[in-house]
Amino acid sequence: MAQLLIVDDDQSTLASLARAFRLAGHEATVCDNAARALDLVKSRPFDVILSDVVMPGKDGLALLEDLRNLGIALPVVMISGQASIEMAVRATRLGAVDFLEKPLSTDKLLLTLDNVLKLKRLEDENRELRQRVGKHEIVHAGEAMRRVMAQVDRVAASEARVCILGETGTGKELIARALHARSSRKDGPFVTLNCAAVPAELIESELFGHEKGSFTGAASRHIGKFEQANHGSLFLDEIGDMPVAMQAKLLRVLEERQIERVGGDRPIPVDVRVIVATHRNLDELVKKGSFRQDLYHRVFVFPLVLPPLRERPGDIPALVAHFAAQVCQLNGWKARAFTADAMTALERYSWPGNVRELRNMVERLLLLADEAVDGELVQMALPGGETALPAAAAPQTGTLAQRTDQFEREQILGELKRHGQRMTETAKALGLERSHLYKKCQALGVDLRALRGRGAE
């Protein structure tokens, strides 16, 4: 269904065209002058404009000029009963996609509209692809990520629910996008929601939508993520942080495949593949009672575990090259090489913020470098001025989990000190969201109150 704007000073033409398009399943808005058409285009979205050329006052060609001057790139089909070659040439130069003569054949009109919509769809897709090129690419060279991508290929074609597990910054959303792009739903929408970033009192509205006036501040109807993702995929990041009360409602939607907007009075069917992710241990959350066991069994059908960057140093050269090209292109910088000792230093670092931290580091190094990025510059830019994982580090004791916690605690304390106890800058340096850094500090026993007493923010 397309939203059409028909502009003609003849009321019978407006009525017949509107009726023909509505019978074909489209929505048609009509107006009898170019000035009013311009106001409508500024206030409402349209897919195509059909405009007469000869009209009292401002004519259709003037409307084309106004649209071009305002930068409004809408396809316009011109129609006229007084056509001439010169008029058609001028209309085409002003941006018209077609020129039809009156009297109009309904079949030809609908065929023209169909062709224009296909062209518009291709242009929109090409524009989106140009914007997305490289943005969601999964770059890897080692065996660990090859195994992960093999699992992605295996499960993508099914409707099985996937739970992506991994530390913050390992690329869980990229994997979710890859699952969607390789699935039968690839032509449908891909919608995301970070459950940890939405206040508990608003998450139901974000997921299911709400009706106008359903609560204070609900000034208009809001379409939730499930409806936005209909016939596509919905990625729920940090599912482990979803409030327990909301978990019960999500479980019901997964079972019944229908939602009800907040303040609504009727169920709305939805056809959505739900993909979830978390950096937390869902088994432990179930044992503690903070994650429903029945929901766990619904979403934990096919787990995909993403290895942290410290376990796949062989991917670092490819990632550095990818991010460097991306950053240079974005900023219009000339390409800069990374020397062998720079790459060695980057490979030896532990990357607590994973791939996200590496991307930020590459940008920082390119900003600092005059020519090539060398090992000395990397050592200066790394947290604490170290290349990390030093060979002479004091030996740790305890289980692997305890050693990992100890290491993460030392990294966080070091970054807090380096940034003057400022949480926002520390979170950015570690590639974490501020809320996640607070939770990580709490879990690792980092006493922020004591730090604040020594000058924290």
Q: Give the rounded percent of residues in the chain with a pLDDT score beyond 70.
A: 92
Predicted pLDDT of residue 126? 60
Predicted pLDDT of residue 396? 55
Predicted pLDDT of residue 452? 62
Query: Taking residues 384-397, what's their average pLDDT?
Result: 47
pLDDT at residue 205 tops 70: yes
**Where does the pLDDT of residue 415 fall: very low under 50, low under 70, confident under 90, or very high at 90 and above?**
confident
Predicted pLDDT of residue 213? 87
**Where does the pLDDT of residue 394 fall: very low under 50, low under 70, confident under 90, or very high at 90 and above?**
very low
**Which of the residue ranges 134-143, 290-299, 386-395 would you say has the lowest mean pLDDT?**
386-395
Predicted pLDDT of residue 133? 45
Query: Taking residues 224-250, what's their average pLDDT?
Result: 95
235 or 390: whose pLDDT is higher? 235
Predicted pLDDT of residue 125? 65
**Amino acid (one-letter) located at 206:** E
**Where does the pLDDT of residue 428 fall: very low under 50, low under 70, confident under 90, or very high at 90 and above?**
confident
pLDDT at residue 79 tops 80: yes
**Where does the pLDDT of residue 70 fall: very low under 50, low under 70, confident under 90, or very high at 90 and above?**
confident
Query: Taking residues 56-69, what's their average pLDDT?
Result: 86
How far, CA to CA in Å, does 352 sit from each of 169, 172, 229, 382?
A: 9, 15, 33, 12
Whether 457 contacts 424, CB under 8 Å: yes
**Where does the pLDDT of residue 90 fall: very low under 50, low under 70, confident under 90, or very high at 90 and above?**
confident
Query: Taking residues 278-287, what's their average pLDDT?
Result: 94
**Where does the pLDDT of residue 291 fall: very low under 50, low under 70, confident under 90, or very high at 90 and above?**
very high
237 or 58: whose pLDDT is higher? 237
pLDDT at residue 214 tops 90: no
pLDDT at residue 378 tops 70: yes
Query: Taking residues 49-71, what's their average pLDDT?
Result: 86
Q: Give the rounded percent of residues in the chain with a pLDDT score beyond 90.
A: 46
pTM of the model: 0.57
pLDDT at residue 49 tops 80: yes
**Where does the pLDDT of residue 274 fall: very low under 50, low under 70, confident under 90, or very high at 90 and above?**
very high
Query: Taking residues 233-253, what's their average pLDDT?
Result: 95
Query: Taking residues 97-114, what's their average pLDDT?
Result: 86
Predicted pLDDT of residue 307? 94
**Where does the pLDDT of residue 454 fall: very low under 50, low under 70, confident under 90, or very high at 90 and above?**
low
Q: Is 360 left (phi over 0), alpha (psi -120 to 50) or beta?
A: alpha
- Highest-confidence range of 14-23, 395-404, 416-425, by mean pLDDT? 14-23
pLDDT at residue 386 tops 70: no
Predicted pLDDT of residue 397? 58
Query: Taking residues 340-359, what's their average pLDDT?
Result: 93
Report the mean per-residue pLDDT for the chain. Answer: 86
pLDDT at residue 387 tops 50: no
Query: Taking residues 27-51, what's their average pLDDT?
Result: 89
pLDDT at residue 398 tops 90: no
pLDDT at residue 226 tops 90: yes
Write out the chain in H/E/C secondary structure. CCEEEEECCCHHHHHHHHHHHHHCCCEEEEECCHHHHHHHHHHCCCCEEEEECCCCCCCHHHHHHHHHHCCCCCCEEEEECCCCHHHHHHHHHCCCCEEEECCCCHHHHHHHHHHHHHHHHHHHHHHHHHHHCCCCCCCCCCHHHHHHHHHHHHHHCCCCCEEEECCCCCCHHHHHHHHHHCCCCCCCCEEEEECCCCCCCCHHHHHHCECCCCCCCCCCCECCHHHHCCCCEEEEECHHHCCHHHHHHHHHHHHHCEECCECCCCCEECCCEEEEEECCCHHHHHHHCCCCHHHHHHHCCEEEECCCHHHCHHHHHHHHHHHHHHHHHHHCCCCCCECHHHHHHHHHCCCCCHHHHHHHHHHHHHHHCCCCECHHHHHHHCHHHCCCCCCCCCCCCCCHHHHHHHHHHHHHHHHHHHCCCCHHHHHHHHCCCHHHHHHHHHHHCCCHHHHHCCCCC
